[in-house]
Amino acid sequence: MALFAIGDLHLCLGAPKPMDVFGGAWVGYMDKLKEGLSIIGPDDTTVLLGDLSWALDLPSSAADFAWINEIPGRKIILKGNHDYWWSTAAKFRKFCDEHGFRDMELLNNNSFEYEDVAICGTRGWFFEEERSGQHDEKVFKRELIRLEASLKAAGERQKFVFLHYPPRYKGYECPEILQLLEKYEVRRCFYGHLHGGSHKLAMEGLWDGVEFRLVASDYLDFKPYKVI
């Protein structure tokens, strides 16, 4: 058994938006993902940190989730900023039942157990939204509530947090999220979202008692990061 993490698959089977157009590492990325994810076994758990499909709604995402369904083992999914297909947990469960997709769960106001660890998380928030004038205080506060609900659901178990947006990077930090990590004694935090030239902004390693790791797919050369 192993616990893996990877974000930003950006699958495009249900929407004509392949990442290959960005060139570089993204050329042939779906084949690279298929090969990289082949190390995952049926007894493993994989956390998928958002931006999974370019589809605009659940019906259009069926081909992408069929692709994800081929990843062995349990898949725990959280929302990214481009996951426009995202709906309610009940609608997602119905969607999975209708298509025969198994072992997929949404990380949303809840937590999941893996051995002696609690898997917690939410989408988070990002400085880009503030800088662009699109900062929405209501949405931001909702993300904080969701993260704390997830951490509370974990009880006394050791907590690992998975976010789509980085809670800190060079030149920026989100103090409200970092305060929650400290309050609930989180020791490991994983995030995605940063691509290409933004990789150099990533802050990894130990910061204020928390180990941070960037697990965006292109940063990992399209291979999942083994958490445990």
Q: Which helix (H) or strand (E) holds 6?
A: strand 3-6
pLDDT digits (tens, 9 = 90+) for 166-202: 999 988 889 999 999 999 999 999 999 999 888 998 9
- DSSP string spanning 58-110? TGGGHHHHHHHHTS-SEEEEE--TT-TT---HHHHHHHHHHHT--SEEE-SS-
Spacing of C-alpha 214 from chain mean position: 10
- How far apart (Å, rounded) are the C-alpha atoms in residues 124 and 168? 11
pLDDT digits (tens, 9 = 90+) for 113-167: 999 999 999 999 876 555 555 567 888 899 999 999 999 999 999 999 999 999 9
Instruction: Look at the domain 3-226 and name its fold.
Output: Purple Acid Phosphatase; chain A, domain 2 (3.60.21)
Nearest residue to 121 via CA among 150, 142, 92, 143: 150
Per-residue confidence band for 15, with pLDDT thresholds at 50, 70 and 90: confident
Phi/psi at 36 (5° precision) = -65, -40
The pLDDT score that the predictor gives to residue 55 is 94
- The DSSP code for 35 is H
- How far apart (Å, rounded) are the C-alpha atoms in residues 122 and 50? 9
The pLDDT score that the predictor gives to residue 24 is 74
Nearest residue to 85 via CA among 54, 114, 49: 54
pLDDT digits (tens, 9 = 90+) for 64-119: 999 999 999 999 999 999 999 999 999 999 999 999 999 999 999 999 999 999 99
